Amino acid sequence: MSKLIHGFIPRRTVPYDSWFFFAAVLLFAIALASSGRLDGSSAKVANSSLSEEKSSAKTAKRATGESRFTTLDGARIHYVNYGKGSEALVLIHGWTVNLDNWRDQAPDFAKRNRVIAIDLPGHGQSDKPQIKYSMDLFARAVDAVLRAAKVKRAVLVGHSMGTPIARQFYRKYPEKTLAIIVVDGALRPFGDQAMMDRMVAGIRGPNYKEVLRQMFAAMTGPNLSSEAQERIKASSLNTPQHVLVSAMEGMADSSIWGADKIKVPVLAIMAKNPFYPPNIEASYRDVAPKMDFQMWEGVGHFIMMEKPKQFNEAVLAFLNKNKLLKK
């Protein structure tokens, strides 16, 4: 597949960073959807709502946290709270999915400290109004949750799109940010405007659900269970198209990719793939000098779902090393 992707995207125009892989896969999925090379998509799309309902039922049985809502600009934001305390580990999911992605993390981390998992605006059980879904909006939503939960300071864990959200939160509320954990997310810009226009056009079109199916199929690693794949697919296919498009445009906003430094401790857990350059660690350290950088082999984009035990151990080791969130 890499040859097909490299043939579809001119490599010279795209900065090499963690979002190159995301952009490449999305554009490849758009190409497949446009050519009609899709297998059984309509049946799977038709069953997506049922899959999501089954997933929600399973989550409810396993969860030990308390489901809560707060509001931002008149819209409800859903989150699940585990434990008490003025400091918390805050789990921020990525584009198109929801807090269920953290089902193997939240109860485990809650044994040590307070945990809050958020459904970002437009996702999961949060409201999905016709508004602009910018990284700034998402950062404000995280802050609204923390204020409602009476959390004064937090360690932010951002998967994929959750990373620029965590960074934007740090810009706006540095005094509330203890540390940031990057989970296969970007600290650098990803591609030029022409590429972004093609990506947005692909998910704005009538075949956007097929594009999503192909994209997530290409981004999952060898250890992701079929049940987890179904949960990811169901959540993405049930996220409204206006949210998908606007959030993608939000990630393309050049103002969120400044050269400003992150001065708090940062842990980056990245999934190795052939698109990363040799200097990716150095480029990330330029942004976050206090960084622990890990490149994991044999995993896909959803690292925490593929290797939950190892992922949780890495996060806890980072928290212990930096003496963060101790009860």
Tell which residue, 63, 106, 101, 123, has the closest CA to residue 231. 101
Tell which residue, 22, 18, 16, 303, has the closest CA to residue 186. 18
- Interval 154-166: pLDDT, tens: 999 999 999 999 9
**Residue 275 or 298, more confident:** 298
- Interval 116-157: pLDDT, tens: 999 999 999 999 999 999 999 999 999 999 999 999 999 999
Q: For tokens 């799977």, what's the residue? A: 44
What's the CA dihedral at 141, 147, 150, 155 to 10 degrees? 50
Q: What is the pLDDT of residue 25?
A: 53
H helix or E strand, kind and range, residue 155: strand 153-159
Is the per-residue pLDDT at 101 higher than 50? yes
For the chain, domains (ranges, CATH) are 2-321 (3.40.50.1820)
Q: 180 near 289, Cβ under 8 Å?
A: no
pLDDT confidence tier of residue 9, bands split at 50, 70 and 90: very low
**Three-state secondary structure call for residue 112:** coil
Pairwise CA distance, residues 299 & 157, whole Å: 18
pLDDT confidence tier of residue 26, bands split at 50, 70 and 90: low
All residues at 6 or more sequence positions from 30 whose CB lies less than 8 Å from its CB, including other chains: 198, 199, 201, 202, 203, 211
Stretch among 23-27, 108-112, 142-146, 158-162 having the lowest mean pLDDT: 23-27
Q: Rounded to 5, what percent of the chain is helix, strand, coil?
A: 50, 15, 35
pLDDT confidence tier of residue 74, bands split at 50, 70 and 90: very high
- Interval 208-232: pLDDT, tens: 999 888 888 888 888 999 999 999 9
Is the per-residue pLDDT at 43 higher than 60? no
Pairwise CA distance, residues 113 & 249, whole Å: 35
Rounded to the nearest 5°, which phi and psi values hold at 94? -100, -170
Pairwise CA distance, residues 300 & 271, whole Å: 6
Is the per-residue pLDDT at 49 higher than 60? no
Look up residue 65 and give its two tokens.
Answer: 């946290």
Q: What is the pLDDT of residue 156?
A: 99
Tell which residue, 180, 184, 138, has the closest CA to residue 305. 184
Q: What is the pLDDT of residue 155?
A: 99
Full-model pTM? 0.83
Is the per-residue pLDDT at 34 higher than 60? no
Pairwise CA distance, residues 29 & 217, whole Å: 9
